[in-house]
Structure 1
Amino acid sequence: SLTINDVTPDDEGAYLCQANNGVGSGLSKLVQLKVHVGAHFAHKFGSQTVTKGQDVWIECLSLGENPIAIVVTRDGIPFDPNIDNRYEVIRNETNDAFGLRLHIRDTNRRDSALYTCSAHNRYGSDEYNHQIIVQEPPDIPENVRISEISSRSALISWMESFTGNTILTKYRLELKTSANSWQSSDTSVETIAGNENSFTIRGLKPITSYHIRVRAQNKLGFSAYCPDIHFTTQEEEPSGPPLHIQVFPLSARSLAVTFRAPAPETRNGRIQGYYLGYKALEMDTNFMFKKLAINELSNDGNQQNEVNITSLMANTKYAIVVQAFNG
């Protein structure tokens, strides 16, 4: 007997078996071997990465004995090329192969998928998988929020959205005061690594209204900006003193103190009132303080204020201090 392991089409043909023992003419037998080849693919996997808008071709060439049938699925779901005129299927059949060529025009993100060609005939079946990755600029960052707002800083956070099927390289953050446009030279720009999803904004001014926006970037370009986020920083204690402090004697036991509010850029909020302190210079005592609310003064605090101090000691020098407060 003759055993052929791992039969291939090359083994097909006529085999002659002869037997002879030296007596007579001997015996012979002609055996015809027919090799049937099941449907199979020479390669099992392929992939393509393209930019949105480019065309792609998927080649599914099944070898084997015809008739061969090929069915295409996309991410495991039967694929019907007739649903979109961007798809075109070209079939080609030879004696020992059947080819299917899928042409996808003007690719978009929906075409990113695993395409599987399943071939079968009477003698076997096989699969070929082809991964298509369509890349494009990313989508707008999602769920952009401002939190942890203080007088000088705030935290902005966001969620990664569609990356464009490639790595995000960075985020671009722009900040401006509400009074300015985005084209203003005062607009500040921060660049944040693409694997981050939050950033602490520092160097802000107290009680100031800001707008902020952010966009993502990958190797193909930027997303659009997210809608503007508006926030206002908190107040903090005034960083400058009241201005134009003057002291006038009213009598032997009383003084008049006049002053104006701190400079606007040092108020850091709405001035709510003042602490007025006084003590005798030649005595080792602490300052005595009076708390003066704005509504106790003669005006809103932006003009000159006047406060009288009474019940003082006669013929005595006094030190006077005035401190503004807000919040």
Structure 2
Amino acid sequence: PGEYKDFLYEPTVQLFPNGTIYFKKINKESQGHFLCESKNNIGSGVSKVIFLKVNVPAHFQTKTKQISVAKGKQVHIQCNVQGDNPIDIKWKMHATQQYLDESLDSRYTIRDQILDDGMVSELGISHTYRQDTGIYICQASNAFGQDEMSIQLIVQEVPEQPKNLRINSQQSRSLQLTWSQPFAGNSPIEGYHIYYKQISDIWQNAEHIAITGGQTVVNIQNLRPAKAYHFRMPSENKLGPSEVSTVV
């Protein structure tokens, strides 16, 4: 059917003298009709048409990816599989190995779209929580093979308040504060804000020191001798500040 063109050299195809064609690596573009002609000086020769059908297994060009979302926001996780339809796609959580569907959690929606060369599947989560952080597996299979893709979802939030704030040492006009780094909210802590005041004062008039997120120790200078102070602090990442710590 149609017009034929001479078979030209291709690095992944080998042509033998007996007419055999060997494809070292075949793809969908190789599918089609092949005309083999044989003739000599006697007669008009013979020919045969062969249709080559290339079956494409379900496969992913990209095996892994990572996406982030702010806690409370919706997120849509997509996987794009290539291969011959029909393709069956399933979603599951790596941690639990539990398959996901809309009956499991009302926040889930799954939408599939058939394409000429495969399918796109989208897992939607309408309202994200911290526990949604994890690796989601998109499994695809058809009659000719199967494959899977891993998508790491990171739900980001403001950090927790600093833990174990305490006075490590003190002198008449200075002291050292230490604390434990809290859960960062899946986003690096960018800084801490130390607020301190004399006990008789109000927090609106407190002194303020800003320090970088890698620190868990700070020296407070120029305190008034024989005066009692209160200290408290929040941590902060790109999503905002935490609640303040316990007052010491």
Task: Provide the TM-score with structure 2 as the length reference.
Answer: 0.80
2:83 to 61, 64, 68: 64
Relative distance call for 1:5 and 1:109 in structure 2 (3 A) is same
Relative distance call for 1:76 and 1:38 in structure 2 (3 A) is farther
Give the match's secondary structure for 1:41.
Answer: coil
Mapped pair 1:22 → 2:41: yes
Mapped pair 1:43 → 2:68: no
- Are the equivalent residues in 2 in contact too, given 1:49–1:135 (CA < 8 A)? yes
Mapped pair 1:159 → 2:163: no
- Are the equivalent residues in 2 in contact too, given 1:114–1:132 (CA < 8 A)? yes
Give the match's secondary structure for 2:146.
Answer: strand
Alignment correspondent of 2:14 = none
Mapped pair 1:216 → 2:235: yes
Alignment correspondent of 2:100 = 80
Structure 2 unaligned blocks of 5 or more: 1-19
2:152 to 116, 123, 131: 131
Normalized per residue, the structure richer in strand is 1
What is the total number of aligned residue pairs between the two structures?
A: 227
Alignment correspondent of 1:280 = none
Relative distance call for 1:120 and 1:215 in structure 2 (3 A) is same
Give 1:41 deviation, angstroms.
Answer: 2.1
- Are the equivalent residues in 2 in contact too, given 1:156–1:199 (CA < 8 A)? yes
Give the match's secondary structure for 2:192.
Answer: strand
Alignment correspondent of 1:256 = none
1:193 to 212, 232, 241: 212
The residue type paired with residue 65 of structure 1 is D
Equivalent residues in 2 for 1:1-16, closer than 5 Å:
1-16=20-35
Relative distance call for 1:27 and 1:100 in structure 2 (3 A) is same
Measure, in 1, the Cα distance between the counterparts of 2:116 and 2:239.
45
- 1:17-45: CA deviations, max 9, x gaps? 22222334433333221110010123334
Give the match's secondary structure for 1:40.
Answer: coil
Measure, in 1, the Cα distance between the counterparts of 2:178 and 2:105.
39
The residue type paired with residue 166 of structure 2 is R
Larger Rg: 1
**Larger deviation: 115-124 or 55-64?**
115-124
- 1:123-154: CA deviations, max 9, x gaps? 22333333333322211111222221333322
Measure, in 2, the Cα distance between the counterparts of 1:221 and 1:20.
80
1:113 to 126, 134, 147: 134
Measure, in 1, the Cα distance between the counterparts of 2:36 and 2:224.
101
Measure, in 2, the Cα distance between the counterparts of 1:169 and 1:102.
32
The residue type paired with residue 27 of structure 1 is V
